[in-house]
């Protein structure tokens, strides 16, 4: 079974600065997918960024980028130019591509609560 | 329309009640999911439906009974719940297949309180 670990229960950053959220995972699979989801107080889970394990290039979505280190099984999220609207719980998630049913659930880390200081 | 809707937003029920949660999507997705999220915890997978058939049941107690009557609708029937079942219940949907772009779209959840 896969596990996802987020070692930072809470992080705080000044508005307009950069913050990095950590995520490590454990798996015996060679191919897999990794995601960062954001859950603001409104509770709606929103996909922030995704990464395929066999792609070495780090994914980027506007102010969000990842540092994917496959050998180290590390998948950190960097948020540049932090904005007040970035305040939320951030979950790192893993999904296996090897599902007999063609659909598989996500395995989530425990989450990091991100606070943006104005 | 890239929205997953869930009703009701809030539900309070007694341990002897029977209630249902509803989830709907019109994105043509053929995979739908129920997750349970306790306060300050990550979501935990409960059920997966693929093409309206139950494909994954994560050993969920029988007091939770899922149903997928058509490709757009997913229900979760609740009966004889316990106070520890109080949680946020999230529904999600995705295209069938496990490619990285088959992302799961989540609904806003139903906040369930069992008295």
Q: For each of chain A's 118 residues, which pLDDT tens digit applies?
A: 789 999 999 999 999 999 999 999 999 988 899 999 999 987 889 999 999 998 888 999 999 999 999 999 999 999 999 999 999 999 999 998 776 556 688 999 999 999 999 9
Q: Does A112 touch chain B (CB under 8 A)?
A: no
- Closest listed residue to residue A89, CA positions, set A48, A41, A51, A47: A41
The predicted structure's pLDDT at residue A69: 95
Cβ–Cβ < 8 Å for A49, A77: yes
CA distance A90 to A45: 9
Mean pLDDT of B90-104: 84
Encode pLDDT of B56-76 as tens digits: 888 899 999 999 999 999 999
The predicted structure's pLDDT at residue A92: 98
Q: Which pair of structure tokens corresponds to residue B11?
A: 């539900």
Rounded to a whole number of angstroms, the distance from the CA of A97 to the nearest CA of chain B is 5
pLDDT value at B99 more than 90? no
Mean pLDDT of B30-38: 95
The predicted structure's pLDDT at residue A2: 86
Judged by CB atoms closer than 8 Å, whether chains meet at A109 and B104 is answered as: no
Residues of B in contact with A45 (CB under 8 A): 43, 90, 92, 106
């Amino acid at each position: 079974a896969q596990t996802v670990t987020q070692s930072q229960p809470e992080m705080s950053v000044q508005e307009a600065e950069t913050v990095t959220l950590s995520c490590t995972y454990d798996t015996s699979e060679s191919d897999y997918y990794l995601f960062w989801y954001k859950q603001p107080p409104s509770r709606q889970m929103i996909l922030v960024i995704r990464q395929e394990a066999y792609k070495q290039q780090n994914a980027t979505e506007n102010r969000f980028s990842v540092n994917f280190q496959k050998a180290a099984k590390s998948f950190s999220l960097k948020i540049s130019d932090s904005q007040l609207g970035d305040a939320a719980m951030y979950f790192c998630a893993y999904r296996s591509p090897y599902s007999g049913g063609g659909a598989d659930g996500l395995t989530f880390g425990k989450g990091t609560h991100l606070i943006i200081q104005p | 329309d890239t929205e997953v809707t869930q009703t009701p937003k809030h539900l309070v029920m007694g341990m002897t009640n029977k209630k249902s949660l509803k989830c709907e999507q019109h994105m043509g997705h053929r995979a739908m999911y129920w997750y349970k999220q306790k306060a300050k915890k990550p979501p935990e997978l409960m059920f997966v439906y693929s093409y309206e058939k139950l494909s994954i049941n994560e050993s969920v107690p029988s007091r939770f009974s899922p149903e997928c009557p058509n490709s757009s609708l997913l229900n979760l029937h609740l009966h004889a719940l316990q106070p520890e079942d109080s949680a946020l219940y999230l529904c999600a949907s995705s295209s069938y297949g496990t490619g990285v772009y088959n992302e799961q779209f989540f609904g806003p959840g139903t906040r369930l309180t069992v008295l």
